[in-house]
C-alpha cells in the first residue's frame, strides 16, 4: 500500500516534469521562429513587441488552454469511469459535452456569434446548464446510476440530432463550415479572454472532483456497499455531476468538442498508478494536460496546408489506441 502510494507520487512528479518540458516546447514552436530568450522575455513582457505579442496573445493562451482543457477532461474521465464503474465512460457519455456543442452551433446558426466574443461561450454554457439540470431532475428521483448513464446517452443523442438539424437547415455555407470547425475542437487562435471564460469553471470543477476519491473507492464495491460504508450517494451524485458539468461546459464553450482525452487518459494511468479509483485522479489530470498539450504541439508541427484541428488529432490517435487497450484487456481477462 505504501509502495503503491509512493509510486503514485513518483508518477505525479514525472508528469509534472513532462508538462514543464511541453510548456517550453509549446512556447517555442510555431509558424514564426523565436529564440528562447525572446520566448522568456515575451512571457515576461520584456522582449521586442512582435515577440511579446506572439507569446502573450497566441502561444501562451493556446498553451494554457490546452493544459486546462486536458487537465479537466482527463480528471473528469477518471471520475466518471470510477463513478459509473464503467471503463468506457468519458465526459461525453453524460450528454453535457454534446449539449455544449449544440449551444455553440445554435449561436452560429443564427449568425449572432459575430456580435460578441461572449456569444458562443454563453450559448454553450446555457445548454450545458440545461442538460445538467435535466440530469439533476433525474438523479433527484433516486434512480440507479445506470439510469443516469442512459439518460445521459439520450441527451447526447438528442443534442447530436439537433446539431445535425442546424447544419441541415443552414442556408449559409460559411456558417456550416464554422459549425464543423467548431465541433472538431481546437485551442488555436484562442485569446486570454477565452481562457478567462473557461478557467473559473474548469478550475471549480477540478476542485470539486479532486475531493471525490473516497466516494469512488467505495463505489468500486458497488452502490449498496458504498452506502453501507457511509457514502451519501444522492448528495455525491449532485457534486460529481456538477463538477463534470463545470469542466465540460468550460472546455466546450471555448475549445469545442475535444474527444477521447477523458476516455483514454485514465486507461493510460491505471497500469502506472494502480486500479484504485482515487489513485488515478491526479495522474489523469496531469496526464490529460500533458497529452492535450503534446497533441496541440504536434498539430502545429504538421501545419502544412490547413491546420489539423486538435480534436481531430486526439480522436485519430485516441481511437486506435483505445482499440488496442480493449483488445489487450480482453486477452488478459481470458487467461
Q: Which is nearer to another protein, 87 or 111 (CB)?
A: 87
Nearer to another protein, 83 or 113 (CB): 83
Q: Which three cell numbers stand for residue 310?
A: 486538435
Return the number of the residue (16 or 221) whose C-beta is nearest another protein: 221
3-state secondary structure of 86: coil
CB atoms within 10 A of CB 247: 33
53/140 with CB nearer another protein: 140
Closer to another protein by CB, 159 or 282: give it: 282
At its nearest, how many Å lie between another protein and the CB of residue 255?
30
| Closest CB 328 distance from another protein, rounded Å | 13
Least spacing, CB of residue 235 vs another protein, in Å: 9
Sheet strands (E) in the chain: none
Residue that is written with C-alpha cell 452506502 in the block: 227
CB closer to another protein out of 89 and 135: 89
Task: Identify which of 240, 92, 120 has the alpha carbon closest to the alpha carbon of residue 190.
Answer: 120
CB atoms within 10 A of CB 229: 13
CB nearer another protein, residue 114 or residue 232: 232
For residue 218, the minimal CB distance to another protein (Å) is 5
Q: Which is nearer to another protein, 225 or 301 (CB)?
A: 225
How many CB atoms sit inside 10 A of residue 291's CB?
27
CB of 229 to another protein, least distance (A): 5
Minimum Å distance from CB 280 to another protein?
10
Q: Which is nearer to another protein, 189 or 234 (CB)?
A: 234
Query: Which of 176, 198, 201, 179 lies closest to 187, judged by CA?
Result: 198
CA atoms within 13 A on the CB side of 295: 31
Question: Positive or negative CA dihedral for 208, 211, 212, 215?
Answer: negative
> CA triplet 7, 64, 238: central angle to 5 degrees?
70
The answer to whether the beta carbons of residues 301 and 31 sit under 8 Å apart is: no
How many degrees, rounded to 5, is the angle at CA 122 between CA 120 and CA 126?
A: 120
* Residue that is written with C-alpha cell 529564440 in the block: 35
* In the complex, minimum distance from the CB of residue 253 to another protein, in angstroms, rounded to a whole number: 31
CB 104 within 8 A of CB 252: yes
Tell the smallest beta-carbon distance from residue 233 to another protein (Å).
9
The residues of the shown chain that bind another protein, judged by CB under 8 A, are: 1, 5, 85, 213-214, 217-222, 224-225, 227-232, 275-279, 333
> How far apart are CB 169 and another protein at their closest, in Å?
43
Question: Residue written as cell 476542485?
Answer: 207
Q: Is the dihedral of CA 228, 234, 235, 241 positive or negative?
A: positive
Matching residue, cell 480528471: 75
Amino acid at each position: 500500500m505504501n509502495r503503491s502510494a509512493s509510486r503514485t507520487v513518483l508518477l505525479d512528479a514525472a508528469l509534472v516534469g513532462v508538462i514543464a518540458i511541453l510548456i517550453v516546447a509549446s512556447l517555442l514552436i510555431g509558424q514564426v521562429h523565436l529564440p528562447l530568450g525572446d520566448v522568456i522575455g515575451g512571457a515576461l513582457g520584456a522582449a521586442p513587441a512582435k515577440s511579446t505579442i506572439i507569446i502573450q496573445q497566441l502561444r501562451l493562451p493556446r498553451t494554457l488552454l490546452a493544459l486546462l482543457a486536458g487537465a479537466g477532461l482527463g480528471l473528469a474521465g477518471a471520475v466518471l469511469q470510477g463513478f459509473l464503474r464503467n471503463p468506457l465512460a468519458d465526459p461525453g457519455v453524460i450528454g453535457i459535452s454534446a449539449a455544449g456543442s449544440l449551444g455553440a452551433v445554435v449561436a452560429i446558426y443564427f449568425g449572432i456569434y459575430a456580435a460578441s466574443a461572449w456569444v458562443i461561450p454563453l450559448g454553450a454554457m446555457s445548454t450545458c446548464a440545461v442538460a445538467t439540470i435535466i440530469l439533476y431532475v433525474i438523479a433527484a428521483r433516486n434512480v440507479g446510476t445506470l439510469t443516469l448513464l442512459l439518460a445521459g446517452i439520450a441527451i447526447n443523442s438528442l443534442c447530436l440530432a439537433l446539431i445535425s438539424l442546424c447544419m441541415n437547415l443552414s442556408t449559409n455555407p460559411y456558417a456550416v463550415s464554422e459549425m464543423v470547425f467548431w465541433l472538431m475542437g481546437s485551442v488555436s487562435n484562442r485569446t486570454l479572454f477565452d481562457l478567462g471564460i473557461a478557467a473559473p469553471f474548469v478550475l471549480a470543477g477540478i476542485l470539486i472532483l479532486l475531493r471525490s476519491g473516497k466516494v469512488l473507492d467505495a463505489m468500486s464495491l458497488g452502490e449498496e456497499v458504498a452506502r453501507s460504508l457511509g457514502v451519501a450517494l444522492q448528495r455525491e451524485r449532485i457534486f460529481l455531476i456538477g463538477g463534470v458539468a463545470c469542466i465540460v461546459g468550460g472546455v466546450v464553450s471555448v475549445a469545442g468538442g475535444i474527444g477521447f482525452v477523458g476516455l483514454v487518459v485514465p486507461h493510460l494511468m491505471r497500469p502506472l498508478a494502480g486500479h484504485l479509483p482515487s489513485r488515478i485522479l491526479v495522474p489523469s489530470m496531469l496526464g490529460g494536460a500533458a497529452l492535450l498539450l503534446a497533441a496541440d504541439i504536434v498539430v502545429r508541427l504538421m501545419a502544412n496546408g490547413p491546420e489539423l484541428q486538435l480534436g481531430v488529432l486526439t480522436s485519430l490517435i485516441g481511437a486506435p489506441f483505445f482499440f488496442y487497450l480493449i483488445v489487450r484487456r480482453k486477452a488478459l481477462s481470458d487467461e
